[in-house]
């Protein structure tokens, strides 16, 4: 039960990351608005996204959105705990996350930066794994 839905959500997030790539646009300083709240549809409307629903369950609702050539995942959660569990699992796969209360957007760096200018929220990074081996020192994926 609890394991199945996070795995499904994670699978969609990973697919979206693969589609979105790891854009390397500039990191211009933009004013960050107050963090948006609301349903997936409300958040999608604010982000000017026509959501392609992927998961519509009691605990998570998830849609694929497009911004130009980039794609990203927009997900809403029924509880803060469910959101945090999902994020903790998803971040093991790397990626860029924009996090609000009971919602997450996952995509390329530039896309997430632009969404932050619309939806507000906090930026979080997934763990960056090296090419062929894992960091034996338990590092936390630093730039470089």
Q: What is the pLDDT of residues 17-67, one digit of tens each?
A: 444 444 333 444 558 999 999 999 999 999 999 999 999 999 999 999 998
**CA pair distance 92, 65, nearest whole angstrom:** 22
Mean pLDDT over all residues of the chain? Answer: 79
Mean pLDDT score, 119-136:
72
Residue (of 131, 133, 113) closest to 123 by Cα position: 113
**CA pair distance 94, 115, nearest whole angstrom:** 19
pLDDT score at 17? 44
pLDDT score at 30? 57
H-type alpha helices, 21-79: 40-46
Under the banding of pLDDT at 50, 70 and 90, the label for residue 71 is very high
pLDDT score at 118? 95
- The structure's pTM equals 0.71
Mean pLDDT score, 100-113:
95
107 pLDDT more than 50: yes
Within 8 A by CB and 6+ apart from 130, the residues are none
Residue 60: burial class (beta carbons within 10 Å; 0-12, 13-18, 19+): buried
84 pLDDT more than 50: yes
Classify the C-alpha dihedral 132-129-24-143 as positive or negative: negative
**CA pair distance 74, 2, nearest whole angstrom:** 20
């Amino acid at each position: 039960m609890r394991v199945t839905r996070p795995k499904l959500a994670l699978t969609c997030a990973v697919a979206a990351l693969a589609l979105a790539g790891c854009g390397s646009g500039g990191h211009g300083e933009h004013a960050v608005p107050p963090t948006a709240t609301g349903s997936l549809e409300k958040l999608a409307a604010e982000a000017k996204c026509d959501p392609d629903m992927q998961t519509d369950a009691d605990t998570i609702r998830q849609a694929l959105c497009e911004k130009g050539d980039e794609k990203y995942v927009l997900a809403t959660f029924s509880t803060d705990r469910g959101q945090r569990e999902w994020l903790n699992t998803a971040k093991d796969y790397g990626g860029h996350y924009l996090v609000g209360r009971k919602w997450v957007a996952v995509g390329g760096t530039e896309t997430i930066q632009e969404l932050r200018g619309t939806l507000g929220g906090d930026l979080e990074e997934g763990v960056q794994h090296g090419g062929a081996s894992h960091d034996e020192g338990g590092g936390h994926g630093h730039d470089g």
